[in-house]
Structure 1
């Protein structure tokens, strides 16, 4: 929890709270963590989509190799 102070204004009242140190307030921390969470979810989704594409490519390669193998085996009979 950051240390805050309220400066006394010319009329004798206190002004708005100001952070004394550079620490985050709870609200700032929540906003930062929510932003980091969103970034991580987007990165995870991107990696998942790349993985799906690699799996599709791998399946297509295996099918092509199977076709070649079947042609080779069929051609040698």
Structure 2
């Protein structure tokens, strides 16, 4: 892994500011933070899809029950 190039900008009062990356690869800490953030986003997306799937299954069950009721009414009405 390459070493990132960093610098300190000179501030208006003549002192130097904090280190900032100019170019180079991300540091190990930056990579960890990025991957943790991506992992969190993926877990949230997966949870959202899981909840949507549960709702679709519930809707499907309700539709099947309604169709069964209609079928029973039709069959009971023809006797």
**Taking structure 2 as the reference length, what is the TM-score of the superposition?**
0.73
How much has 1:23 moved relative to structure 2?
Answer: 1.3
Q: Which ranges in structure 1 are unaligned for 5 or more consecutive residues?
A: none
How much has 1:68 moved relative to structure 2?
Answer: 0.1
How much has 1:21 moved relative to structure 2?
Answer: 2.6
Size of the alignment, in residue pairs? 77
Q: Structure 1 residues 7, 54: closer, same or farther in 2, change over 3 A?
A: closer
Q: Which ranges in structure 2 are unaligned for 5 or more consecutive residues?
A: none
Deviation beyond 3 Å, 4+ runs, structure 1: 1-20
Q: Structure 1 residues 64, 14: closer, same or farther in 2, change over 3 A?
A: closer
Q: Structure 1 residues 59, 9: closer, same or farther in 2, change over 3 A?
A: closer
**Taking structure 1 as the reference length, what is the TM-score of the superposition?**
0.75
SS, match of residue 20 in structure 1: strand
How much has 1:14 moved relative to structure 2?
Answer: 13
CA RMSD of aligned residues (A): 4.1
